[in-house]
Structure 1
Amino acid sequence: MSVLPLVFTSGWASGINAYAVVLLLGLFGMTGVGDDVPQTLQRPEVLIVAGVLFACEAVADKIPYVDSVWDTAHTVVRPLAGAWIGALLAGQSGSLPDVAAGLLGGSTALASHGVKAGTRMAVNTSPEPLSNFVLSIAEDLGVAGVVAFAMFHPGAAAIIAAVLLAGGLLVLVFLVSRIRRFLRSRAQRRERGRADRVPWPPG
């Protein structure tokens, strides 16, 4: 069976929460739920690190503005994780070249990361913090549900991931003005911070 749908789905999920994907796949492999999960993802040290980082993300992801800082720091991490997981899955299956799987997983993760980061910038223009918390919970549940579904129905899960990705990109187009507002407000806060550090009168 081709591992292509699972690579695509894991890439999409990695762009949202890479640590959750590693943790879920590893646990599914250890418990025998997923036969296509590579041994590397099932190693105890990998699961422990993924679990700790997942807990950190679970907190940071729900705090306004902190979530955007976290997303910025993971602009490289998530696509690399998607590429790494894709290559591992391809190596385990043997039905897809490792390089092709890595490119697919990494590019899909980059696209979904862009949707997540852009959406959070738009949400952060709202004065109340509840939106961040609700959106973060929805993302976590979505990643868990789609990855778990992919263990049993990889083709259907890949279709769901593709629809979610396309829908997210479409929503992002409509949120461009709010994202620009977020970037302007962040730049203004940075300028005010510099002004506050300048002694007055100079000299």
Structure 2
Amino acid sequence: MSVLPLVFTSGWASGVNAYAVVLLLGLFGATGLSDEVPAALQRPEILVTVGVLFLCEAVADKIPYVDSVWDSVHTVIRPATGAWVGAMLAGQGGSVSDLVAAVIGGSTALASHAVKAGTRMAVNSSPEPFSNIVLSTAEDLGVAGVVTLAIFHPWAAASIAGVLLFTGLAVLCFLVSRIRRFLRRRAQRREERRTAAAVPRRVAGAPPWADRD
């Protein structure tokens, strides 16, 4: 059986939550539910590490502005994970070359990461925090559901992942104005903090010329 649909699905999911993908695939392989999972993903140290990182992301991803910082840090990590998982799946299945699988997994992860990061910027333009929690929870459940489906019905899961990816890109185009507003607000906050730090603090009771060098 071709591993191409599993590579595509894992790439899309890696762009949303790379640690969840590695954790789920590793658990499916370790429990014997799938023969498509490489042994390297099933190693205990890998599962423990990604499990801890998944918990960290589960918290950071639900805090306004912190989630955008987390996304910025993972701009390289998520596509690299998608490429790595794709290459390993191809090496396990043998129906697709490692290089092709790495390109598919990495590029798909990069596209879905752009959708996620851009959507979060737009959501953070709203003052209330509940939308971040709802969106993050929906993303986690979506990744878990699609990756699980990919183990048993890879082509169906790949079709769903494709629809979600292209829908997300379309929505992102409509959110460009909100993203620009978010970036302007963040730049303004940085400028305000920089200005506040540059203003010397006058000691109470000191004469006006005391601040001068």
TM-score, normalized by the shorter chain, greater than 0.5: yes
* Residue aligning to 2:9: 9
Determine helix, strand or coil for the equivalent of 1:75. helix
* Residue aligning to 1:101: 101
Once the 2 structures are TM-superposed, how far is the Cα of residue 202 of structure 1 from its aligned partner? 5.9
* Residue aligning to 1:49: 49
Query: C-alpha separation between the residues in 2 aligned to 1:185 and 1:26?
Result: 41
Query: C-alpha separation between the residues in 2 aligned to 1:188 and 1:91?
Result: 48
Q: 1:131-142 alignment to 2 at 5 Å?
A: 131-142=131-142
Determine helix, strand or coil for the equivalent of 1:156. helix
Query: C-alpha separation between the residues in 1 aligned to 2:16 and 2:186?
Result: 23
* Residue aligning to 2:159: 159
* Residue aligning to 2:22: 22
Query: C-alpha separation between the residues in 1 aligned to 2:199 and 2:166?
Result: 50
Cα 1:26–1:191 shift into 2, 3 Å = same
Determine helix, strand or coil for the equivalent of 1:76. helix
* Aligned residues: CA RMSD: 0.8
* Residue aligning to 2:189: 189
Query: C-alpha separation between the residues in 2 aligned to 1:34 and 1:193?
Result: 52
TM-score, scaled to structure 2 = 0.94
Q: Would you say 1:76 and 2:86 are equivalent positions?
A: no
Query: C-alpha separation between the residues in 1 aligned to 2:77 and 2:30?
Result: 24
C-alpha offsets along residues 25-76 of structure 1, whole Å, 9 cap, x if unaligned? 0000011111100000000000000000000000000000000000000000
Determine helix, strand or coil for the equivalent of 1:2. coil
C-alpha offsets along residues 73-126 of structure 1, whole Å, 9 cap, x if unaligned? 000000000000000000000111001100000000000000000000000000
Query: C-alpha separation between the residues in 2 aligned to 1:82 and 1:74?
Result: 12
Q: 1:115-130 alignment to 2 at 5 Å?
A: 115-130=115-130
Number of positions where the alignment pairs a residue of Structure 1 with one of Structure 2: 203
Query: C-alpha separation between the residues in 2 aligned to 1:31 and 1:37?
Result: 11
TM-score, scaled to structure 1 = 0.99
Cα 1:189–1:152 shift into 2, 3 Å = same
Query: C-alpha separation between the residues in 2 aligned to 1:33 and 1:111?
Result: 29
Point out where structure 2 has 5 or more consecutive residues left out of the alignment. Answer: 201-210
When structure 1 is superposed on structure 2, of 191-200 and 87-96 the one drifting more is 191-200
Determine helix, strand or coil for the equivalent of 1:110. helix
Query: C-alpha separation between the residues in 2 aligned to 1:188 and 1:84?
Result: 38
* Residue aligning to 2:177: 177
Equivalent residue letter for 1:62 = K
Query: C-alpha separation between the residues in 2 aligned to 1:192 and 1:199?
Result: 11
Query: C-alpha separation between the residues in 2 aligned to 1:12 and 1:180?
Result: 25
Equivalent residue letter for 1:153 = H
Point out where structure 1 has 5 or more consecutive residues left out of the alignment. Answer: none
Once the 2 structures are TM-superposed, how far is the Cα of residue 199 of structure 1 from its aligned partner? 2.9
Equivalent residue letter for 2:58 = A
Determine helix, strand or coil for the equivalent of 1:128. coil
C-alpha offsets along residues 106-154 of structure 1, whole Å, 9 cap, x if unaligned? 0000000000000000000001000000000000000000000000100
